Structure 1
Amino acid sequence: MKSVDKNDLNGEPDAPVFSTGVTGEGYVYDGCRNALSTGWSRRGFIETLGLSGVTLAAAPLASLLLPGSALAGTAVEDFTFAILADSHTMGKKNGPMKVRLEAAIRQINAMTPAPDFVMYLGDAITDGTLEEFKYFEEIIAGLKPTIHYLAGEHDWYLDMGEYYMRNMIRRSMPYYSFDHKGAHIMALHGCNLSDFWSSRKLSPQERMKVAGDINDPAQGTFALGRAQLDWMEKDLANVPKDAPILIFSHVPLYQYHKPWNFWTQDADLAHAILRPFSNVQVFHAHVHQLVEHQIANMKFTGILSTSWPHPYPESYHTLGLTGQMPRPNPSLLFDGLGWHIARVEGGSGKVSHEDILWTLKPPAA
């Protein structure tokens, strides 16, 4: 299968794209594949991060899963899809958000062959207002492939998801699934927060402000909730154990960094449901960072944003290195930002992904 032509994207020669992570040789890389430290073991790196039971994937662009076979007797076919997230468009008061999202749309529309669909992993806007939604919809209308949405907290907590459900998800529930060419695809609603607003008599605007602030402990932690976990178990009941399972969530489906609420409190219960399946890839947004790791049979990929890059948590800095781990420069229009291409391989069911990291090759503004 032909992938996106980098010359179509930017008029420049092909260049490999790599993710932050630890290679099998123990090298720590940043998003530009600059070696930061040598001789650091995977075990040491994971213990430093405080993620017991986690193994980071190797840094190169493809994250390969175990072979799968078929879904309901249908052979797995080749297909490609794109992933976008965290555009945080703010209306006309913040033009760079529009410029960045439009750059991603141009690149996705230039893919050859065209992707079967685009998954949008939430936080399309920032303050939840009707003006911001209309502004985002005007921009995203330029995207040619079919787009499937799930919600982020910024899309949800002003009107409790009313607009996003009606105009974007367009389903009866904020979580859903579908089958595509032998793969089973699950879009989760991971931005559930316990009611922190009613007893405090917060206005919708005050509720949105707390929910959207990663440094405000009043919001509590995210959770899937019992109803969604029960739905997951029922939804997967008849899916073959070796079928490709593609899971999309706004927030990490694990416990990554609690101070910034990069955290799903009941993620372990979801992991238990997914554990019998051999071919599970989870893509999540929210962190605005490249993150690769694995828990048991499940591989996790953090998705870049098109809005702004978050710094890495301080736990990334305790590797015995001097100074800070390199940060994207927010003053540069495209540094630390981007989107992703993912592929499912026919027959084997292997899943791979490529990070279109604009730090390496900024698009034309």
Structure 2
Amino acid sequence: MMQDHDNRIDEEAGGRRQFLKCMAWAGAGTLWMMKGGVLRAHPLGDAPAIKGGTFGFVQISDSHIGFHKAPNPDVIGTLRRSLAMINAQQTRPAFLLHTGDLTHLSKPEEFDTLNGLMQEARVSQRFYVPGEHDVIGDNGTEFFRRFGVKQNAGGWYSFDQDGVHFVGLINVLNLKAGGLGSLGADQLAWLKNDLAGRSAETPVVVFAHMPLWPLYPQWGWGTDDSSEALSYLRRFGSVTVLNGHIHQIQQKVEGSITFYTTRSTAYPQPAPGDGPGPGPLQSVTAQALHRYLGIRDVRHVQRGGALAVTDEVLA
């Protein structure tokens, strides 16, 4: 269930009551049509036909290869099931984004297993950013050796697809007090320069592991210096920010910027503030587990730079 923690959902999106009504559909899959930062939600069974689509991509996150405890002792099996869902789509995605925590303990054999599994996805390209579980003990050396994009020394990067600008940020190195993510001065300077020459009409998609908004700082669910990054993004008419880390769907609209977190393919975590802290949700039974895990399908619609976002559970 998505939650709005600051009660500032854009009035154009129908108000908080309508927003919460839309959230009730999320478990069965929700189609989001976004134009200029304003969302319209439809349950999948009643979703309008998407016309003018130019390309699509898939986001998965938090596969935690190497985890083998409750509530999911078979994270390889649930990742495989997620990849099978991708392969079953009628229109092949242009690429796949993995938004971090590929592994659980950053072990070379965990990365090797993940790399082999990802080859099962029938996509032409795969893009990755690390999670904090991917940089344990070596500051990400094993991750960057296998999955890094050698665009610059810092590991962050950008690319373009059919008029949409994608930016992959890294916020899991040099974590701040309480576990908050951090971008750092060098990455922020790079981001400012990367965006500087682009038209405000260019749709921008940013992806990182940890949330780029203060979702729940008490649990480290945020990025310490994200406000500077967002200041460079506000002039664009359509900005979508995708992340993982919290293993559940949360969403926020702030002007023209829409923030989405996504489900894990491994295990769920508690809702923000529900219990003593984050971690695998032990109350989930084996029979119910697949209702908490899933993937995200995103399609670009040419008219108005809209993005159609569909969340799908494994169940």
Q: Does residue 130 of the first structure (1) align with residue 103 of the second (2)?
A: no
Contact 1:83 1:120 survives alignment (8 Å): yes
What is the DSSP-based 3-state SS (H/G/I as helix, E as strand, rest coil) of the residue aligned with 1:163? Answer: helix
Distance 2:16 2:94 in 1: 36
Counterpart of 1:135 in structure 2: which amino acid?
A: T
Query: Counterpart of 2:291?
Result: 335
Distance 2:170 2:16 in 1: 37
Distance 1:32 1:220 in 2: 30
Query: Counterpart of 2:31?
Result: 61
Query: Counterpart of 2:197?
Result: 238
Contact 1:122 1:150 survives alignment (8 Å): yes
What is the DSSP-based 3-state SS (H/G/I as helix, E as strand, rest coil) of the residue aligned with 1:306? Answer: coil
Query: Counterpart of 1:180?
Result: 161
Q: Give the TM-score normalised by the residue count of structure 2.
A: 0.80
Query: Counterpart of 1:72?
Result: none
Counterpart of 1:341 in structure 2: which amino acid?
A: D
Query: Counterpart of 1:263?
Result: 222
Distance 2:192 2:310 in 1: 30
Contact 2:250 2:261 survives alignment (8 Å): yes
Distance 1:244 1:179 in 2: 10
Q: How does 1:288-327 map to 2 (within 5 A)?
A: 288-314=247-273
Contact 1:303 1:339 survives alignment (8 Å): yes
Residues 25 and 252 of structure 1: CA distance in aligned 2, closer, same or farther (over 3 Å): closer
Contact 2:97 2:127 survives alignment (8 Å): yes
Q: Does residue 348 of the first structure (1) align with residue 304 of the second (2)?
A: yes
Contact 1:90 1:132 survives alignment (8 Å): yes
Offset at 1:342? 0.3
Offset at 1:33? 3.3
Q: CA RMSD in A?
A: 2.9
Contact 1:21 1:29 survives alignment (8 Å): no
Query: Counterpart of 2:49?
Result: none
Distance 1:330 1:186 in 2: 37
Counterpart of 2:170 in structure 1: which amino acid?
A: H
What is the DSSP-based 3-state SS (H/G/I as helix, E as strand, rest coil) of the residue aligned with 1:223? Answer: coil
Q: Does residue 157 of the first structure (1) align with residue 136 of the second (2)?
A: yes
Query: Counterpart of 2:180?
Result: 221
Offset at 1:357? 2.3
Query: Counterpart of 1:120?
Result: 98
Offset at 1:220? 4.1
Deviations 1:131-176 (A, max 9, x none): 2111212222211212111111111122211111111124143210
- Gaps of at least 5 residues in structure 1 are 1-18, 35-58, 68-75, 196-216, 317-326
Q: How does 1:202-217 map to 2 (within 5 A)?
A: none
Contact 1:78 1:345 survives alignment (8 Å): yes
Offset at 1:356? 0.6
Residues 312 and 152 of structure 1: CA distance in aligned 2, closer, same or farther (over 3 Å): same
- Gaps of at least 5 residues in structure 2 are 5-13, 38-51, 276-281
Query: Counterpart of 2:89?
Result: 111
Structure number with bigger Rg = 1
Contact 2:135 2:173 survives alignment (8 Å): no
Q: Does residue 193 of the first structure (1) align with residue 150 of the second (2)?
A: no
Residues 310 and 95 of structure 1: CA distance in aligned 2, closer, same or farther (over 3 Å): closer
Query: Counterpart of 2:15?
Result: 24
Residues 268 and 170 of structure 1: CA distance in aligned 2, closer, same or farther (over 3 Å): closer
Contact 1:155 1:164 survives alignment (8 Å): yes
Distance 2:33 2:185 in 1: 30
What is the DSSP-based 3-state SS (H/G/I as helix, E as strand, rest coil) of the residue aligned with 1:236? Answer: helix
Offset at 1:24? 3.1
Query: Counterpart of 1:247?
Result: 206
Deviations 1:182-232 (A, max 9, x none): 11000111112258xxxxxxxxxxxxxxxxxxxxx6x64211111111111
Query: Counterpart of 1:210?
Result: none
What is the DSSP-based 3-state SS (H/G/I as helix, E as strand, rest coil) of the residue aligned with 1:252? Answer: coil
Offset at 1:347? 3.6
Residues 25 and 225 of structure 1: CA distance in aligned 2, closer, same or farther (over 3 Å): closer
Q: Percent identity?
A: 26
Q: Give the TM-score normalised by the residue count of structure 1.
A: 0.70
Counterpart of 1:163 in structure 2: which amino acid?
A: E
Distance 1:328 1:301 in 2: 25
Offset at 1:348? 2.2
Query: Counterpart of 2:40?
Result: none
Distance 1:99 1:81 in 2: 22
Residues 92 and 66 of structure 1: CA distance in aligned 2, closer, same or farther (over 3 Å): closer
Moved over 4 A (4+): 29-32, 91-95
What is the DSSP-based 3-state SS (H/G/I as helix, E as strand, rest coil) of the residue aligned with 2:86? Answer: helix
Distance 1:263 1:330 in 2: 29
